[in-house]
C-alpha cells in the first residue's frame, strides 16, 4: 500500500498467526454489547470512554481529557499490558477509537502498538475466527512516560495561529465545520487558519474498511492544503477523530503532529479562543 510506516498497521493474516502469542495483547475498542456478541479470540475489552476523564471547567485542565498517568498505568496493568507488550487495537467503526488508543499509548510512551487494518469489518468479512468468550488476562506492570511533543492545549494552539510553519487540521464533519451543528458547544466555528479534512475519508468504504493506500491519503492531504515539513495540530470535538487523523498522517510519513486533546469541547466553550466561519 506504499505506507512510509507500515509497521503501524497489523494485517489480519499476521494477527491470526499471533493469536496465541503471549507477547501480543489484542484490545477490542468497541462498545460492551458488541464485544459480548463476538470478538477476536484473545481480545480484551476497552471502550474509549474508559480512559477519557470527565471534563472540568473549560481551561481548568488545559483542555486535556486523557486519563491521568497513574490511572492509565493501573488500567493497562489490569488488561495485561506491560511496557514490553505488543498491543494491537481494533474496533467496528473505521478504526476511529482504535486509533485513539494508539495515540494515547504513544502519548504515554508505549510505541509498540499497531492498529488492525480493516478492524472488525475486515476480520468478519474474511471469515476469520471469532468467539463470545471474554478474555481474562493476568495482570501486568505498566509505567506511563508522557510525551508532551504529541499533545497540544488551547494555549499552544492559540500561539500558532497564523504561523506559516504550522498547519491545523479540522477532522470534523461538514456540518460542524460550517457551524450548522454546534455539538452542544456555546459557540460555533473553526480555528482561524484551519483546513478541513473529515477523518472518515482516510478509510475505504468497502466492507473491508482498510486505510486507503498511501497515494490516496497523500492526495487527500495535498488537496486539502497540507504539506510535509510543517508542524501539524489536529482537532475535532473531543480529540478522538483528531487522533485518527494524526494516525493517518503518521502512517504516510508526516512528522511533528500534535493532537489538541480538548478540541472544540474545550476551545468553543472558552471566552479567550478565536473562532471563525469565514
Q: Which residues pair with 86 in a beta bridge?
A: 24
Note whether residue 194 is domain-resident. Answer: yes
Note whether residue 132 is domain-resident. Answer: no
**To 5 degrees, how large is the angle CA 171–CA 144–CA 48?**
40
Last residue within a domain, chosen from 94, 125, 156: 125
92 and 19 in a common domain:
yes
Parent domain of 156: 148-267
Count of domains observed in the chain: 2
Q: Are strands 44-45 and 166-170 parallel, antiparallel or unpaired?
A: unpaired
pLDDT tens, residue order, the chain (278 aa): 899 999 999 999 999 999 999 999 999 999 999 999 999 999 999 988 777 665 555 545 445 678 899 999 999 999 999 999 999 999 999 999 999 999 999 999 999 999 999 999 999 999 999 999 999 999 999 999 999 999 999 999 999 999 999 999 999 999 999 999 999 999 999 999 999 999 999 999 999 999 999 999 999 999 999 999 999 999 999 999 999 999 999 999 999 999 999 999 999 999 999 999 98
Q: What is the CATH number of the domain that holds 85?
A: 3.40.250.10
DSSP of 130-180? -B-PPP-PPP--------GGGEE-HHHHHHHTT-TTEEEEE-S-HHHHHTS
Note whether residue 1 is domain-resident. Answer: no
d(CA 4, CA 254): 9
Amino acid at each position: 500500500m506504499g505506507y512510509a510506516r507500515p509497521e503501524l498497521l497489523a494485517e489480519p493474516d499476521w494477527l491470526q498467526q499471533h493469536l496465541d502469542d503471549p507477547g501480543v495483547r489484542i484490545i477490542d475498542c468497541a462498545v460492551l454489547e458488541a464485544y459480548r456478541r463476538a470478538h477476536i479470540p484473545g481480545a480484551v475489552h476497552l471502550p474509549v470512554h474508559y480512559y477519557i476523564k470527565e471534563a472540568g471547567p473549560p481551561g481548568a485542565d488545559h483542555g486535556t481529557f486523557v486519563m491521568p498517568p497513574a490511572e492509565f498505568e493501573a488500567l493497562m496493568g489490569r488488561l495485561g499490558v506491560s511496557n514490553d507488550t505488543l498491543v494491537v487495537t481494533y474496533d467496528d467503526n473505521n478504526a476511529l477509537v482504535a486509533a485513539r488508543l494508539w495515540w494515547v499509548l504513544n502519548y504515554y510512551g508505549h510505541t509498540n502498538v499497531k492498529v488492525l487494518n480493516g478492524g472488525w469489518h475486515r476480520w468478519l468479512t474474511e471469515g476469520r475466527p471469532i468467539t463470545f468468550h471474554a478474555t481474562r488476562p493476568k495482570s501486568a506492570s505498566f509505567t506511563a512516560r508522557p510525551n508532551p511533543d504529541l499533545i497540544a492545549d488551547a494555549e499552544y494552539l492559540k500561539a500558532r495561529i497564523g504561523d506559516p510553519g504550522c498547519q491545523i487540521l479540522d477532522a470534523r464533519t461538514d456540518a460542524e465545520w460550517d457551524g450548522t451543528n454546534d455539538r452542544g458547544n456555546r459557540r460555533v466555528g473553526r480555528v482561524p487558519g484551519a483546513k478541513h479534512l473529515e477523518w472518515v475519508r482516510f478509510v475505504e468504504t468497502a466492507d473491508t474498511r482498510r486505510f486507503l493506500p498511501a497515494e490516496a491519503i497523500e492526495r487527500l492531504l495535498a488537496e486539502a492544503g497540507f504539506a510535509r515539513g510543517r508542524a501539524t495540530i489536529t482537532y475535532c470535538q473531543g480529540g478522538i477523530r483528531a487522533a485518527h487523523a494524526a494516525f493517518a498522517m503518521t502512517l504516510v510519513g508526516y512528522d511533528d503532529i500534535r493532537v489538541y486533546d480538548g478540541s472544540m469541547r474545550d476551545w468553543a466553550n472558552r471566552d479567550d479562543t478565536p473562532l471563525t466561519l469565514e
